Amino acid sequence: MNRFVVETACMLFLFVTVVAAVDWKKGRATWYNHPGQGSCGYGKLEGVDGYEADFGIDSVAALPDVHPDFRGSCGLCYEVKCRGIRAISSSGQVNLPREDACYNESMSIVVKVVDSCPCSGNEEWCCGDMDHLDLSEQAFGRLADPGKGIIGLSYRPVPCVAKFRELVDSDWKTWEENFQQGISPKVFVQGKIGLGWQKTVYSNEKNSIKTYHPNLVDLKDGSKALCANIFTYGGFHFRSHKPKIEKMMQKAKRVEFLARSSGSMSDVAFMINNDQGNGCWDSRTKLPRATKVERAEGGWEKFSFDMSAFTCDDISEADLNRLHFENLGSETANICIKDLELIL
């Protein structure tokens, strides 16, 4: 394995012309060879049960956990360009000529953060004296020969739609609002994990914790859903980071989502809790006891939980950062959900 490969992150790319709206920053990039194992929970990015992600393995990367943008960085997109540098590691022990490593310093690609690069154990490159991005091998290969191992980088945050088309003023306006907010109230809408959220599926039929199966399926109506057969006390959750999640939770009036099952959802619970699994006891509410349930097309039911219904006796609201679904029954439960969002 290339010694400059840092097996931790992922981002996504495309050649684009981007409106100049934010300043370029200088940094460096390495590459890794395990796309689809990202900490954001996007799962394998292509070729799984026919599911194809909008951003594939040739456009993935990660931010170091010491980067100022790290908290809530899942779903952020950056425009990046190769930059010729003298590549010196944080300790100074590695000093390599990379002034001529770039294919074309004026060419840019767009990448999306889907993973993290832990500083611990990767001190030489992932943290220290310079901003760092860890690109997938395929994304790195669009900028320079992966054999170079490390390159200089110019980068700036951009709206993710830059992958698909040229940007207009309204794109930048929406992006600025989302970037400042740091987290999207649209947690999982139209098959996309919202900005600042991470997905984890555990104790399920596909063993997603180890296989990184995305559990995302394309539906006949053109939409996407998260579908899983979850064992007793298995489930899935969407989580975000403090402090960005605190303000969002304070603004939220209710949580809404669509769900359906090939069997019964009577033992599936929806709750709001923290990373330790501690939550509001009254939030351990099985789906049939939602504040409001409405029938929808295609066998779906729309569930609505008022935030006021969740009382927290032993935990502060500021510590809540997960929207959590869990099977409390003794039998495996099948459930699909989509359009999960916080209503402000």
Contact 285, 269 (CB under 8 A): yes
Of 237, 273, 275, the residue nearest 257 (C-alpha): 237
Of the candidate ranges 3-12, 59-68, 85-94, 142-151, the one whose mean pLDDT is the lowest = 3-12
Residue 283, pLDDT > 70, answer no
Q: 165: which 2 tokens?
A: 């088309």
Global pTM?
0.76
Determine the Cα–Cα distance for residues 229 and 291; give it in Å rounded to an integer: 25
Q: 265: which 2 tokens?
A: 């959802």
Of the candidate ranges 5-9, 198-202, 207-211, 244-248, the one whose mean pLDDT is the lowest = 5-9
- Give per-residue pLDDT as tens, 180-192: 777 888 999 988 8
Distances 130 to 1, 39, 267 between C-alpha atoms, Å: 24, 23, 50
Determine the Cα–Cα distance for residues 125 and 108; give it in Å rounded to an integer: 22
- pLDDT band of 21, cuts 50, 70, 90: low
Between 14 and 116, where is the model more confident? Answer: 116
pLDDT at residue 3, as a whole number: 37
- pLDDT band of 127, cuts 50, 70, 90: confident
Share of the chain above pLDDT 90, in %: 31
- pLDDT band of 263, cuts 50, 70, 90: confident
Collect all residues with Cβ–Cβ distance below 8 Å to 2 and sequence separation of at least 6.
31, 146, 147, 149
Between 304 and 308, where is the model more confident? Answer: 304
Rounded mean pLDDT of 138-153?
A: 93
Crossing angle, helix 244-251 and helix 169-181, to 10 degrees? 100
CA dihedral 28, 31, 36, 37 (to 10 degrees): -90
pLDDT at residue 256, as a whole number: 95
Q: 213: which 2 tokens?
A: 């199966």
Q: 207: which 2 tokens?
A: 């063993």
